[in-house]
Amino acid sequence: MLASRLAHDVGKYMARTAHNVAADKWTPTLAAMLCRDLFELRGGRASAVFETLARPIESLSGPQEGLVRARAHLAELDALEGHLRASDAGALARAAVLALAVEDGLRKLARDLGKGSP
């Protein structure tokens, strides 16, 4: 259940804008939307919401490779924040890739842990 919630509350929402923008089509409006996805989710930054939901999963199910990978991606995204807010084209393209990777990974984790798991 927690894994499903993680996929929904973090993965789904942080990939919202990334799903729709080709690598070279970023505008300031879209960059602002992406920043809201990554740093202004309900509950705070995506990385913070992730930690809140991921820790109980790790304490119940042990270390999960999917969580480790997602944490690394989120850390990289946090490091890119300044460049993203400045609409840096390279950073935006990289952030979109990372956001989609986190979403994919968390959905896969939710499927793997399955119904009845934490």
Residues engaged in binding another protein (CB under 8 A)? 1, 4-5, 7-9, 12-13, 15-17, 19-20, 29-30, 33, 42, 103, 107, 110-111, 115-116
Cβ 110 vs Cβ 61: under 8 Å: no
* Smallest distance, another protein to C-beta of residue 8, A: 5
Give the pair of three-digit tokens for residue 75: 């850390």
Give the pair of three-digit tokens for residue 67: 């969580």
Give the pair of three-digit tokens for residue 100: 């989609």
* Smallest distance, another protein to C-beta of residue 26, A: 12
* Smallest distance, another protein to C-beta of residue 21, A: 9
* Smallest distance, another protein to C-beta of residue 106, A: 10
Q: Which is nearer to another protein, 3 or 80 (CB)?
A: 3
Cβ 58 vs Cβ 8: under 8 Å: no
Q: Which is nearer to another protein, 27 or 79 (CB)?
A: 27
Distance between CA atoms of 62 and 102, rounded to whole angstroms?
A: 19
Q: Which is nearer to another protein, 24 or 79 (CB)?
A: 24
Other Cβ atoms less than 10 A from the Cβ of 38: the count is: 27
Q: Which is nearer to another protein, 1 or 79 (CB)?
A: 1
All residues at 6 or more sequence positions from 33 whose CB lies less than 8 Å from its CB, including other chains:
16, 17
